[in-house]
Each structure stands twice: as C-alpha cells, then as structure tokens.
Amino acid sequence: MSQTPHYRRILLKLSGEALLGDEPCGIDPQLLGRLADDVGDVSRCGVQVALVIGGGNIFRGAALASDGMDRVTGDHMGMLATVMNALAMQDALERRSVPTRVMSALKINQVCEDYIRRRALRHLDKGRVTIFAAGTGNPFFTTDSAASLRAVEIGAELLVKATKVDGVFSDDPVTNPSARFYKRLTYDQAIAERLKVMDTTAIVLCRDNGIPLRILNIYEAGALTRVAAGEDIGSLVVT
C-alpha cells in the first residue's frame, strides 16, 4: 500500500455472508484470502485494525427460532458461528504473517482470548489485527451492534461496514437498477428512511458517540485500503 494512512484506528465489520462467496454455506477460502490480503495491507501501513465478523453464513438465531428452536439457544449458536469465522480469518491473516488475536465475548479460553477491553487496546497498540468474536455475548443482539459497541469502546475513528454493493441505496440495486445511491447521509436519515445500513441499535450507538460510518463494497479489491488512506468511496453516514 503506497498511500499514507489517514486513520490511527478503524473497525471493520464483515458479515458472515461476505465470507460465503459462491459457496452455499460456510467459507469460500479464496475470498477469505483476498479479504485477509486487504486487511493485512491496511494493517501493514500502520493503521490499527479491529474486526468484527458476523455468523450469518453458518447460523442466525432468528432463522433457527423460526424453525422452532429456542431463540436464546439459536443466538448462542449464532455467536459460536462468529467464533468459527473469526478463527478462519485469524488463520488466513497469520498465513500472511499478519499478527492477529481473537477475543471472544463468550469465554472459550482454549481456542481464543476473552474480550478484555484493556488487553484489546494493548493488542491494537502493538499493531495486531484484533478480531472481536461472539458479538456482544448477549442473545437478541446482532454483530452490527457488536461492531458499534466495540468501535466506541476502543475509540475507533471510523467504522467500516463491508457489503456486497457500493454503499447505501434507497432499494436493493441488484433487483432495482433505479435505486438511488446515497453518497452521504445522516444517522437519523438512515433510521427514518429505514435504509439498509445497519440495525437501529448499531446506528444509534454510532450517532450518540460520533463515530462516522462508511459503507463500502468489499468485493471491490483495494476498497478498504483506499478508505484507510482517506478516500471518499462508498457512502458516509455522519451527523
């Protein structure tokens, strides 16, 4: 990466679906590798990178509950799914010699560290990509909310949400080609217009703590690197 880093510390939210690629479920290893390349590039240029990874490529509590499972049990399974994705990303990063730590909101000490904020800050200060797994550790929340929460806790200057499209649209641009693209919008606009940015809890946390939120297309190679260098790509949600 040749650009000068614009941020000291960012948090990237990757949904589980972003890891799916062309696979019906689980993780596409090539896509995982490409994402790890991008994260590694940003980290190597001196930006502290925290990651929150979803679990929707494996389990979602609400979907399991709609099939009859107890919702809390389903959410526990969803949170454990995020741990599996986090371990896969840690492995991909370490194979690229990027120092990485996984910290879980649920205690699973034999496979990763517990989430302890001060320890997380130390990992970040040392330039380790720090992956926050198991969401918030509580059922009925999402990993979007976990991303906002951790971004606030670690003092991230930017929360980047990676999606499959180029940013925020008034409708799904895949099915509706005339959907309007928002280059810049406010948190309240995102909530009032029910735009598919993040869930409301996540947006409110960002709004109340002044964390800018950038939505970008993770399938566009180098997009994360360009954002880390301060380029205005994708959509920006601010006050």
Would you list which residues are annotated within the binding site for UMP? 55, 75, 136-143
Asked if residues 133 and 105 have their Cβ atoms less than 8 Å apart, the reply is: yes
- Kind and range of the H or E run holding 39: helix 29-44
Nearest CA among 36, 38, 43, 126 for reference residue 86? 36
Chain positions 69 to 98 lying near ligand UDP, rule: CB under 6 A, are: 74-75, 78-79, 81-82
Mapped onto helix, strand or coil, the DSSP state of residue 144 is helix
Q: Which of 136, 148, 163, 235 forms a contact with ligand UDP (CB under 6 A)?
A: 136
Query: Residues near 138 by Cβ (< 8 Å), separated by ≥ 6?
Result: 105
- Kind and range of the H or E run holding 235: strand 235-238
User: Which parts are annotated binding residues for ATP?
Assistant: 13-16, 56, 60, 163, 169, 172
User: Could you tell me the smallest distance in angstroms from the CB atom of residue 167 to ligand UDP?
Assistant: 17
Asked if 142 touches ligand UDP (CB under 6 A), the answer is yes
Check residue 205 and report its DSSP letter.
H
Query: Residues near 70 by Cβ (< 8 Å), separated by ≥ 6?
Result: none
Asked if 163 touches ligand UDP (CB under 6 A), the answer is no
Asked if 55 touches ligand UDP (CB under 6 A), the answer is yes
Of 100 and 136, nearer to ligand UDP (C-beta) is: 136
Of 104 and 136, nearer to ligand UDP (C-beta) is: 136
Residues in contact with ligand UDP by the rule CB under 6 A? 15-17, 54-56, 60-62, 74-75, 78-79, 81-82, 135-136, 138-139, 141-144, 146
